[in-house]
Structure 1
Amino acid sequence: MLLGAPTAKRHVVAALDAARAAEVTPPASAVVDDALVRLAGEAQRGLVGVLNGTGVLLHTNLGRAPLAAAALDAIAAAAGGASNLEFDLTTGTRGSRYERLDALLRAVTGAEASLVVNNCAAAVLLVLDTFARAPDGSAREVIVARGQLVEIGGGFRLPDVLARSGARLVEVGATNKVRIADYAHALSPRTALLMRAHPSNYRIEGFTEDVTAPELVALGARAGVPVIEDLGSGALEDVRPYGLPGERTVAEAVSDGVDLVTFSADKLLGGPQAGIIAGRRAAIARLRANPLLRALRVGSVTIAALGATLRLHVEGTVREQIPLYRMLATPIDALRARAEALVARVDGLDVHVAGHEGYAGGGTLPLAPLPSIALAWRPADGDVNAAAARLRAGDPPVVARIDGDAVAIDLRTIPPARDADLAAALLAAAR
């Protein structure tokens, strides 16, 4: 990785300063090694590719959904030069970037119209700012069940997003129980929206009661109040054939009559980071007219990658070209065969094949483990934390999990084409 002469000089000077400050002057080779270690650490401060051996398919800290080859090709084609991002090739006049994906999103969701922004939190913020802020700037009310006031990654909480949008939160029900009467009693002339929020990263079980989307839509229709639903995970089809529990799909929410549905593109959809809003044409038109949209819009790279990913969903039969679905569809026997071949490649290390549990991740289906296979490496010195650190410091870095006295590297989340890189990384870390 090119770091530039000023950066290289800064780390060489730091290594020299450390040598001068030492009680015993180190040999020149040690100073060189120190400088190289500092430069390697600097290189890892930038964005680098890693091998995800955690078994978490949608690892938020590791970039969530890896992109399909078709999406990468689309990025190269659209971003390597000029594109028709906001140009109508038929009329030769200015076009709309939002039209590039609208037909595909309508096809996969059944919605009348759609809009794409830079992430799901931005999608919720845009909806709230558009519908829950009065013309005079004062806050209007958004009614949400108390048990749906979620916190997503990084400490961002739905009540905070509501407050930032200028809306006033009205909580109804108890943590574990909410009824349609709770929503009805909370309605007022200041009510702007009825909101449902999907509990993507937690579950409330036991003595519970909830209000269905059709019930809430019916109440909203009687009161003349729109209903929005934040689905978060963005499932476009039934994921049960892949061994996951049933997950509410965007099409189901649209079919239930929800006015606007917000969801992520980089979770169960398997695309790039983006937030998608699907729903009624008139409601989407209001969102497009909001000046805030300009601050939240996506560029050609996101549009190209998302478009290519959506086409794979539309085709259906090629959905497993999306890495997330390829990982989900890989049978245990195939993972075990890879693991046995890798054990042979690292002969001499204490590495064996072990059963493992992975997860969908990314705030999706938190209680649903995925049976998997891992390489379990017991380092010679017994220090598993140091061994895992050496794997992370390698080229490529390998991110693994600690499992008792072993470093566990789950193969479901590592592409088979990278097995040679993984074997080399293990051998290097053992040295």
Structure 2
Amino acid sequence: GELVEIGGSFRIPDVMRTAGVRLREVGCTNRTHLRDYEDAIDEETALLLKVHQSNYVIKGFTKEVSVEELVALGQARGLPVLVDLGSGCLFDVGDAFQVHEPLVQEVLRAGVDVVTFSGDKLLGGPQAGVIAGKKEWVRRAAKRPLARALRVDKLTLAALEATLQIYLEGPVAIRAEIPGLSMLLRDISALEVVGRALETELSVLPSGVTVSLVPSLAAVGGGALPSATLPSLQLAIDAPGFDIEAFDKWLRARQLPIVARLDRGRISFDLRTLLPGDEHHVCEAICQWFDLDSK
């Protein structure tokens, strides 16, 4: 159950094949045992690979081999262990997502030789791929001729370093300065404050336009935490004869685009996705549309 396809239709088996690797599958889709790895090892085995299911979930009658078990097997057989974490979470969010997302540091402490993860997604930095782990293996990867062709530029490195510096400052800074995590970890009461303020500002809309706050569930998205849902709040706009599709297209075509949600004949804005100050842009756009529409 770990032959993952990520965005852009890139598949783990295809990536490995292109790199000249012969990938040998172990176990079944829903259940994999340690003995499956043991039985698959032969004299040509060079690496034990585990891929985190970061963008999908397998439920029901399931079993997987833990990182710790795989590390012990690798050490016993003299084989390095690589874990691809996908989203690369560095901050323990506790019970906020109702599911546990393995942390990069947890996996490294378990003794894996190499862990790979994204610089964006849950980490919240620039789009990049990160290879971390034991010096021996990271240095060997860095010496490959292809590494120079694929290396990130100085601006990406600067952005990644600035992001990681925030993590060193601690939980308060992380919650405040990593935009994605700030949105995901925002308390529902904070969304209610923003929503009530928007309701008040939009009270100037023409008669017949209905503005309401609607409880909803938000998905994490971005190839991370596929089973997690977060309580959220939507600002919904409705009016007789209101062409929500035209409004939606107009919002997206603005100099500062706004992406809304169309659902059951109304258009809404998920307040969890707003950065501080974004609510003013949403309010301005809504008022501008109805002003234009009334002329």
TM-score normalised to structure 1 length: 0.64
- Of 63, 66, 69, which residue of structure 2 is paired with 1:215? 69
Q: Percent identity?
A: 46
Q: What does 1:78-93 correspond to in 2, within 5 Å?
A: none
Q: What does 1:395-406 correspond to in 2, within 5 Å?
A: 395-406=255-266
Shift of 1:188: 1.5
- Of 291, 301, 326, which residue of structure 1 is paired with 2:182? 326
Moved over 6 A (4+): none
Contact residue 239 and residue 245 of structure 1 kept, 8 A: no
Contact residue 198 and residue 283 of structure 2 kept, 8 A: yes
Alpha-carbon separation, structure 1, partners of 2:127 and 2:65: 30
Shift of 1:197: 0.3
Alpha-carbon separation, structure 2, partners of 1:312 and 1:242: 20
- Give 1:351's aligned amino acid: V
Shift of 1:243: 4.2
Instruction: Render the CA deviation track for 1:152-187: whole Å, top value 9, x for unaligned.
Output: 112111111111111111111111111111111111
| Equivalent residue, structure 2, for 1:284 | 138
Q: What does 1:168-187 correspond to in 2, within 5 Å?
A: 168-187=22-41
Q: What does 1:129-278 correspond to in 2, within 5 Å?
A: 147-278=1-132
Alpha-carbon separation, structure 1, partners of 2:104 and 2:128: 15
Which blocks of at least 5 consecutive residues in structure 2 are unaligned? none
- Give 2:199's aligned amino acid: V
Alpha-carbon separation, structure 2, partners of 1:263 and 1:287: 15
| Equivalent residue, structure 2, for 1:299 | 153
Root mean square deviation of aligned Cα: 1.5
Structure number with larger C-alpha Rg: 1
Q: Is 1:345–2:201 an aligned residue pair?
A: yes
SS at match of 1:217: helix
SS at match of 1:355: strand
Contact residue 81 and residue 112 of structure 2 kept, 8 A: yes
Q: Which moved more, 1:202-211 or 1:238-247?
A: 238-247
Shift of 1:343: 2.1
Q: Is 1:414–2:274 an aligned residue pair?
A: yes
TM-score normalised to structure 2 length: 0.92
For CA contacts below 8 A with separation 6 or more, give which structure has more relative contact order: 1
Which blocks of at least 5 consecutive residues in structure 1 are unaligned? 1-146
| Equivalent residue, structure 2, for 1:54 | none
- Of 310, 322, 331, which residue of structure 1 is paired with 2:164? 310
Name the CA shift for 1:364/1:283 in 2 (closer, same or farther; >3 Å). Answer: same
Shift of 1:406: 1.2
SS at match of 1:269: coil
Q: Is 1:393–2:253 an aligned residue pair?
A: yes
Shift of 1:224: 1.6
Alpha-carbon separation, structure 1, partners of 2:276 and 2:79: 51
| Equivalent residue, structure 2, for 1:429 | 289
Contact residue 394 and residue 429 of structure 1 kept, 8 A: no
Q: Which moved more, 1:377-386 or 1:258-267?
A: 377-386
Shift of 1:379: 4.5
Alpha-carbon separation, structure 1, partners of 2:229 and 2:88: 19
- Give 1:371's aligned amino acid: P
Shift of 1:291: 0.6
Q: How many positions carry a matched residue from both structures?
A: 285
| Equivalent residue, structure 2, for 1:375 | 235
Name the CA shift for 1:211/1:243 in 2 (closer, same or farther; >3 Å). Answer: closer
- Give 1:334's aligned amino acid: A
- Give 1:318's aligned amino acid: A
Alpha-carbon separation, structure 2, partners of 1:189 and 1:380: 72
Shift of 1:408: 1.5
Contact residue 201 and residue 365 of structure 1 kept, 8 A: yes
Q: What does 1:117-132 correspond to in 2, within 5 Å?
A: none
Alpha-carbon separation, structure 2, partners of 1:255 and 1:196: 16
Alpha-carbon separation, structure 2, partners of 1:379 and 1:388: 14
